[in-house]
Structure formats: C-alpha cells, structure tokens
Amino acid sequence: MSLLELKGVSLSFAGSRVLDAVDFSVPAGAIVSLIGPNGAGKTSLFNCITGFYKPQQGSVRLDGTETLRMKPHQVTRLGIARTFQNVRLFREMSVRENVMAGQHCRTGAGVIDAILRLPAQRREEAATRDFAEACLRFVGITEGWDREATTLPYGWQRRVEIARALATQPKLLLLDEPAAGLTSGEKEELIGLIGRIRDERGIAVLLIEHDTSLVMRISERISVLDHGVMIAEGTPREIQSNQKVIEAYLGVEEDALDL
Amino acid sequence: MTIFDIFTNQLLNGIVLGSFYALVALGYTMVFGVVKLLNFAHGELYMVGGFAGFLLLSFLAPYLGPGWFGVAVSMVLAMIAVGFLGVVIERVAYAPMLSAPRLSILITALAVSLVLQNGMLTLTKGQYVPFGAALGFGGVRLGSLFISYNQMVLVGVAGALMLGLELFVSRTQYGRAMRAIAVDKDMSRLMGINVNAVIAVTFFLGSALAAAAGTMAGAYYGSLWYFMGFLIGLKAFTAAVIGGIGSIPGAMLGGLILGLLESFGTQLPGVGSEWKDVFSFSVLILVLVFKPTGLLGKPEQERM
C-alpha cells in the first residue's frame, strides 16, 4: 500500500480549475519527484497534501487515514512535513530554536507544566534541544546554532529548514524546489542529504524541482503535472521518452521564446 | 525635604506605578504579537481582576486573614479566573473576527470593553468599593526614604511574574510557538503548531497578568471602581508602544519609563499631579513621531 494516496483531487479558485481529478501516490520509503511547467499546480498540490488548501473533490490519504478534513497542524502530527520554495524560517529566533519549534506537535508537556516549569517540562525541554541539535548535525550544520536563523548564508538556511521539517518526525517529507539558488557543490550535498533522509531515517521524500538532471538522478518515480492534469507517471527513463511530457515542456519553451 | 529626598521618593513611586503599567502592558503586547489585535478591552480585565480579587478575599479572609497571605491566595485565584475570562472573550468575540478586516475586530474590542465596564457599573452602582485588605504600615527607613513592605512585596511580585513570563516565552515549547506564530502564522500551522490553542494560552497569560495587577492595585490603593481600568488601559497601551509593541522586554521597559516619568513629572515647578496624563500621552506622540517602532521594537517586514 502507498504511504500517500491522492484520488481524484480537484481544486478550483474562483471558478478557475487549478487541479483536475489528480491521482497520485508515493510509496513508503520512496523518493518521488513532481515536475511540470510553471503554473502547472505543483505547489497547489503540495498545499492540498498538507491540508492548507481544501480541494472541492477527491481524497487524500496518509497511511490510509483521510486527511482532507484535518487542519494543517493535525496533518503535520500525522506525519507530513514540508519546506518552502522561498525559505521561510522564523525571524528573530535562533537556528536551534527554529528547529525546536518544529517539535511542537511531538512534545507532550502541557501548558500547566510549562507555566510552572515542572521537572517533566525541564526534561522534555532538554530532550527537545538534544533532538534539534541531532537534526542540525544530520543536515550538516554543526555550528552557529545560536545565531539568528535568517542571518545565515542562503544555502545554510535551506538546510535549517530541512532540519526543522525533520524535527516534526514525518513519514513523508515534501521539498518545494530544494535546489533553487544553490551552487553546484551545494546541490551535490543536497542529493546526498535526500538519500540519507530516506536511507537512514526511512522517510519518504516527495520533491518539486526544476533542475531536471538532479530530478533524473535521485528520483525512483516521477510524476508530471501540466495545467492541473497529471499527464505522466513512471521511472526517470520512461518520463524522458514520454511524448506528452516532451510536448508539455516544448510548449512552455515556445511561450518563453515569444517573450 | 531636600531635592535628593524628593528624587528618591519619586523614584520609588515611579517604580511602583511602573510595575502596574508593565504588568498590564505585557498583555497588550503579547496579544498584539500573536493576533495583531489591539485588545482595547485589556484595561477592563485589570478592573475585573481587581474585583475578582476583592470578592475572593472577602470569602477567604475569615480563613486566611486579610493580610498579604490572604491577598496572595486571592490574587492567584483571580488570575486563574480572569485568565479563563480572557480565553472566553477571545473565543466568543475575537476568534470569529480574526479573518475580518482589522477595523472590525478593533470595534469588537471596544464593545467588549464597554460590556465589561457597564456590567461592573450595574453590579456596583458606580460606587467605590473598599478592597478590605489589611496590609499594615510597616516598612524600612533608609535615611529620609521610607519603603513600605507593601511596596517591596508589590514590586517583588511584579518582577517575579515578569521573570516567569520571560522564562516561559524563551524556554518552553509554548513560548517558542507564540513567537513562531507572531512571525508567520501559516507556516507555524504547517510545522504542527495548533495556532488556536497557542492563542488561547496567550490570552490566558495576558489576562492573568492584568488580574494580578488589578488585585495588587486594589490591595495597595485600598479601593476599586468600575472605571479604574480605562485609564490604565490607555497608559499600558502607551507603555507597550513606547517599548515597541509586540516586544515583551519592551513592554516592561515602557511601563517603567512611564511610571517614572509620571512621578517625576509632577514634581516640576508649576506642574501639578493633574498633569501626569499629559506627560504620558506627550511621550506617546513623541515616540510615534521619532521612533514609531518603539524603543525595542523591530521594524515590521512585509512579505510579498
């Protein structure tokens, strides 16, 4: 059974259809890419998966549990975490605190414990801190934990964001254009990191990415979205030779040439 | 009295007054931080807190005595009760308005303020109510300066509450979640933070601090009035803006500055105590003109 299963998901905004009866799945422990021209609805699909948008039709299931009527924080608790196309770290909070904030839905000490700072709360606070630091080390950030997160170099901020998503202890990690703005060296590191997230933590990864060579290298399956319709699904080799996909991308290039 | 005596005495008065302002200002600034709402009903929670403390003390005094112990227990219970009142107000009046235009929720806050004020007016028939605490008049004399035990306890309790809040905000998951929501509510949701629950906690804490100030003010000044929350609400708002609204250390600093300014300002030649409000609001205008973000506030970054 698939970890994530979307069936017939349709989403409209003010009458214009953004997603049209999309069927899509991510097997447990897989690395899957979602590609497609700009404006194809990829980020909208992410927003449907995280419970941020409510599709008018269809079903979204994680591990067999319907998430459509859940609030975003409940979906996160169920096991889906994401990063953003343009990095969105919490301003005025340190690197470590950003990652600690990601553990909110996994910590059990209640408000009363926190107000009174009972021993259980202190222990949990220490455990939260340790786990945050472990997540930071995992993504390769071993220093600067007390710096304000938004003052870090861009490539580091991207990794802090991945660490924060890992801190929510997801089963499925959604990465929205994780390679955007990275140098080629940083892209190599990212490929290694995505592999380790799956291999060492057993977390399935779903990414939106425009860097085609990166997508072809790390994906086990690729899905192609065009104008809100899923036009192809398959292995990287199958996608590269798929006629519909070639047309979709060529169409866009022609549009681009008109400019 | 020498100039020095006047100085030390007014310093003390300013710190006491500033503690009240700071406690109330904290609620303003916390609520503004997480929901971007100027909760103009916040001063009334101070008033309701005073009356709640009074009511609890009249029940408890036969058992615990009307001294500081009885007042302390009444204060803690009043904080809990008014904390929940704050949460109820948020759920009933503000939560449905959070996605409405900013002006609607501001008007709602004014309405809540009127409801609480007039509710208390009806209950007390507009009369001053003696608080009924017996705190004694002891104290310590340092040269010409007399510091009463009451002043010490009051400033100490206010300081402890503020320290507790600072620890809560900086060292706990809920505190971190509060700061996260202040920065980016949508992203906080996606990071698994139950935004509504954290907003409720914020209202609880802000209201509880106002109730603590209300009870202590009642015990210290000796009487309560249904209208007592109005002016302190405005002053606390001023303090929060001076310190930088949304900033917790800013609210403490703003409260203290305002308290000191008022107590010293009344000592200027030819200026009487009826002018103290003029000082506060003049400073508010100056801050808004020259440093609109307040002393410790950070400029708002608009995200495209």
Taking residues B175-184, what's their average pLDDT? 92
Find out whether A228 and A18 touch, Cβ atoms under 8 Å: yes
Question: From CA B228, how far away is CA B57, in angstroms rounded?
Answer: 19
Residue B302 is predicted with a pLDDT of 45
A82: β partners: A174
B304 touches chain A (CB under 8 A): no
- Does the distance separating the beta carbons of A125 and B192 come in below 8 Å? no
Residue A256 has pLDDT above 50, yes or no: no
Q: What is the pLDDT of residues B80-131, one digit of tens each?
A: 999 999 999 999 999 998 888 889 999 999 999 999 999 999 999 989 999 9
Select from A93, A104, A115 the Cβ nearest to the Cβ of B192. A104
Residue A27 is predicted with a pLDDT of 94
Which residues, 6 or more positions from A141, have their beta carbon under 8 angstroms from its beta carbon? A95, A156, A159, A160, A163
Taking residues A37-57, what's their average pLDDT? 91
Best mutation target among B167, B191, B296 (most A Cβ atoms within 10 Å) is B191
Residue A109 is predicted with a pLDDT of 62
A2: β partners: A27
> Residue B246 carries which DSSP code?
T
Taking residues A46-50, what's their average pLDDT? 94
Find out whether A133 and A183 touch, Cβ atoms under 8 Å: no
Sheet hosting strand A65-66, strand order edge to edge: A16-27, A2-13, A57-62, A65-66
Find out whether B53 and B218 touch, Cβ atoms under 8 Å: yes
Find out whether B258 and B251 touch, Cβ atoms under 8 Å: no
A233: β partners: A223
Q: What is the pLDDT of residues A207-226, one digit of tens each?
A: 999 888 899 999 999 999 99
- Does the distance separating the beta carbons of A125 and B167 come in below 8 Å? no
Of A109, A108, A98, give the one whose Cα is nearest residue A166. A98
> Residue B245 carries which DSSP code?
T
SS3 B215: helix
Of B193, B186, B236, give the one whose Cα is nearest residue B39. B236
Of B108, B101, B55, B112, give the one whose Cα is nearest residue B78. B55
List the domain boundaries for chain B: 20-132+142-236
Residue A26: CB atoms within 10 A of its CB come to 25
Select from A50, A100, A111 the Cβ nearest to the Cβ of B176. A100
A78 touches chain B (CB under 8 A): no
Best mutation target among B79, B190, B293 (most A Cβ atoms within 10 Å) is B190
- Residues from chain B that touch A109, judged by Cβ atoms under 8 A, are 173
- Does the distance separating the beta carbons of A103 and B173 come in below 8 Å? yes
Q: What is the pLDDT of residues A138-170, one digit of tens each?
A: 999 999 999 999 999 999 999 999 999 999 999
Which of A69-73, A121-125, B157-161, B213-217 comes out lowest in average pLDDT? A121-125
Q: What is the mean pLDDT of chain B?
A: 90
B195 touches chain A (CB under 8 A): yes
Select from A88, A107, A111 the Cβ nearest to the Cβ of B187. A88
Q: What is the pLDDT of residues B253-286, one digit of tens each?
A: 999 999 999 988 888 777 777 788 888 888 889 9
Select from B183, B190, B193 the Cβ nearest to the Cβ of A82. B190
Residue A116 has pLDDT above 80, yes or no: no
Residue B7 is predicted with a pLDDT of 86
A54 touches chain B (CB under 8 A): no
Residue B303 is predicted with a pLDDT of 42
B163 touches chain A (CB under 8 A): no
Question: Which residue on chain B is closest to A122 by alpha carbon?
Answer: B172
A103-134 burial by CB neighbour count: b if 16+ within 10 A, else e?
A: bbbbbebebebbbebeeebeebbeebbebbbe
Taking residues A69-95, what's their average pLDDT? 92
Question: From CA B219, how far away is CA B215, in angstroms rounded?
Answer: 6
Q: What is the pLDDT of residues B194-205, one digit of tens each?
A: 999 999 999 999
Select from B167, B189, B201 the Cβ nearest to the Cβ of A73. B189
Q: What are phi and psi of A55, to 5 degrees?
A: -65, 145
Residue B300 is predicted with a pLDDT of 59
B183 touches chain A (CB under 8 A): yes
- Does the distance separating the beta carbons of B168 and A115 come in below 8 Å? yes
Find out whether A91 and B301 touch, Cβ atoms under 8 Å: yes
Instruction: Calculate how close chain A gets to B181, using CA atoms only, in Å.
Output: 9
| Dihedral sign of CA atoms A151, A155, A156, A161 in order | positive
Select from A77, A114, A128 the Cβ nearest to the Cβ of B192. A77
Instruction: Calculate how close chain B gets to A242, using CA atoms only, in Å.
Output: 35
Question: From CA B26, how far away is CA B31, in angstroms rounded?
Answer: 9
The ipTM estimated for the assembled molecules is 0.84
Taking residues B136-146, what's their average pLDDT? 84
Tell me the count of A-B CB pairs closer than 8 A: 97
Q: Between these two residues, B296 and A205, which has the higher pLDDT value?
A: A205
Judged by CB atoms within 8 Å, which residues 203-222 of B form the interface with A?
Answer: 204-205
A6: β partners: A24, A60
A111 touches chain B (CB under 8 A): yes
Please write down the HEC assignment for all residues of chain A. CEEEEEEEEEEEECCEEEEEEEEEEEECCCEEEEECCCCCCHHHHHHHHCCCCCCCEEEEEECCEECCCCCHHHHHHHCEEECCCCCCCCCCCEHHHHHHHCCHHHCCCCHHHHHHCCHHHHHHHHHHHHHHHHHHHHCCCCCCCCCEHHHCCHHHHHHHHHHHHHHCCCCEEEEECCCCCCCHHHHHHHHHHHHHHHHHHCCEEEEECCCHHHHHHHCCEEEEEECCEEEEEECHHHHHCCHHHHHHHHHHHHHHHHC
